[in-house]
Structure 1
């Protein structure tokens, strides 16, 4: 069990923001941290890793990682950290990147086999694709068999097909190694596919905590679906207006009235929803 009760003062674009997070995470859970940029997700991850200072307590099983003025050094925290930018050693082969963390060749071979990297073990990072580099990064994080695996938007720079493939591999590794995984992500489909629990942050505080289906599926009244997106353009077609909306990796066209078109601005965040199969756009 992981018990977290931490506070930290953050200096964001909108001024000073107090981060205060109190929660408990069960062993073996896959927790996703969601919320808008600047809500405190990555800072919380870095506090857990010992990469940033904070006040409060962090207790993992029977060991305090943070208590009052005492903070356990990073190297003594049994964690694996997967960064968005891979952070591989460019002068080492794939296999040596893994063995540098833990000189366990059998484990390295097992991880490379699970992620279909065995044939690339003698290659260097600069000769790998983004997806291959991220697989190496995930394998390296698991070489110490960490109690906690921390993932900071690890797949956000990859194309949709590669993201889906690595999401599946990540879930297999999470289950096989029995780690407690905590991931920062902005992708609802990724969170839904991987996480057993979703914690939403806003302005440094938890505003929602529950199963992915409960937290992510937002419907009101008789609405059949509801998505958040960005308004890219509004075009007039005869007597109607067509709004072009980006939702994730897809663009959709929605018919709007002249009154709606006047109240919408290009580039704003909007919510696309439908009632009785009649889509409507409202400001987010």
Structure 2
């Protein structure tokens, strides 16, 4: 069990903000931290890792990692941290990057085998693709058999196909090592595939804490589908007004009324919903 009861004043572009989080996380859970940029997600990860100071308490099992009397230094916390930028040593081979953490050849080779990197163990990071580098970073984070694995948008720079592949490998390592995993992500499909619980932060406060389905599935009344996106443009085609909306990696055209067009502004965050009773789903 992880007991988090912390507060910290943050100074952001919008002025001061109080990060106040009181949570209990069960051992072995896979938690997704979601919310707008600047809501405190990364800061919370860094506080758990001991990389930033805060007020309050942090307990992991029977160990006190932080309270009013002392703070356990980062190197004494059984933490694995996977960053967005890989953070590999460029002058070390793949295997050496892992062994730098812990001189356990058997574990290092098991991890490389598990993630399909064994044949690349003698390569330098500069010769690897982005997906391969992130796999090395993930393996290195597991070298200390961490109690808690922290990941800050680890797959955001990768293409969709590689993201899906690495999501599977992350879940495999999470289950095989029995870690408690906390991951910052903005990708709904990633959250749905990996997490069993989603915690949404807004201006430093927890505003939702539930299953991925309950947090991500946004419908109301008789609506069957509901998507959020950004309004890119409104164009007139003959006598019809058409809104162009960006949803994820897709652009969608929606016919709107003149009154709707008058109330919308380019750049607005909008919700696209439909009451279609019999949608068609087909393979690409």
**TM-score, normalisation: structure 2:** 0.96
Q: 1:69 Cα deviation (Å)? A: 4.0
User: Are the aligned partners of 1:7 and 1:18 in contact in 2 as well (CA < 8 Å)?
Assistant: yes
Q: Which residue of 2 aligns with 1:220?
A: 220
Q: The residue matched to 2:234 in structure 1 has which SS?
A: strand
Q: Which residue of 2 aligns with 1:280?
A: none
- The separation in 1 between residues aligned to 2:17 and 2:253, in whole angstroms, is 38
Alignment of 1:112-127 (within 5 A): 112-127=112-127
User: Are the aligned partners of 1:222 and 1:276 in contact in 2 as well (CA < 8 Å)?
Assistant: no
- The separation in 1 between residues aligned to 2:134 and 2:234, in whole angstroms, is 38
Alignment of 1:189-200 (within 5 A): 189-200=189-200
Q: 1:275 Cα deviation (Å)? A: 2.6
- The separation in 2 between residues aligned to 1:276 and 1:104, in whole angstroms, is 57
Q: Which residue of 2 aligns with 1:62?
A: 62
- The separation in 1 between residues aligned to 2:111 and 2:204, in whole angstroms, is 36
- The separation in 2 between residues aligned to 1:172 and 1:9, in whole angstroms, is 36
Q: How many residues align?
A: 277
- The separation in 2 between residues aligned to 1:130 and 1:267, in whole angstroms, is 31
Q: 1:273 Cα deviation (Å)? A: 1.0
Q: The residue matched to 1:51 in structure 2 has which SS?
A: coil
Q: 1:276 Cα deviation (Å)? A: 4.1
Give the aligned CA root-mean-square deviation in angstroms.
1.0
Query: Are 2:108 and 1:71 equivalent residues in the alignment?
Result: no
- The separation in 1 between residues aligned to 2:122 and 2:22, in whole angstroms, is 44
- The separation in 2 between residues aligned to 1:121 and 1:265, in whole angstroms, is 52
- The separation in 1 between residues aligned to 2:119 and 2:268, in whole angstroms, is 46
More strand by share: 1
Q: Which residue of 2 aligns with 1:209?
A: 209
Gaps of 5+ in 2: 278-284
Q: Which residue of 1 aligns with 2:235?
A: 235
Q: Which residue of 2 aligns with 1:38?
A: 38
Q: Deviations 1:209-255 (Å, cap 9, x if unpaired)?
A: 01111111111111111111111222211111222211111221111
User: Are the aligned partners of 1:10 and 1:19 in contact in 2 as well (CA < 8 Å)?
Assistant: yes
Q: Which residue of 2 aligns with 1:130?
A: 130
> 258-267 vs 10-19, which deviates more?
258-267
Structure 1 runs of 4+ with >3 Å offset: none
Q: 1:274 Cα deviation (Å)? A: 1.3
Alignment of 1:256-271 (within 5 A): 256-271=256-271
Q: Which residue of 2 aligns with 1:281?
A: none
Q: The residue matched to 2:37 in structure 1 has which SS?
A: coil
- The separation in 1 between residues aligned to 2:195 and 2:158, in whole angstroms, is 19
Gaps of 5+ in 1: 278-284
- The separation in 2 between residues aligned to 1:135 and 1:251, in whole angstroms, is 31
**TM-score, normalisation: structure 1:** 0.96
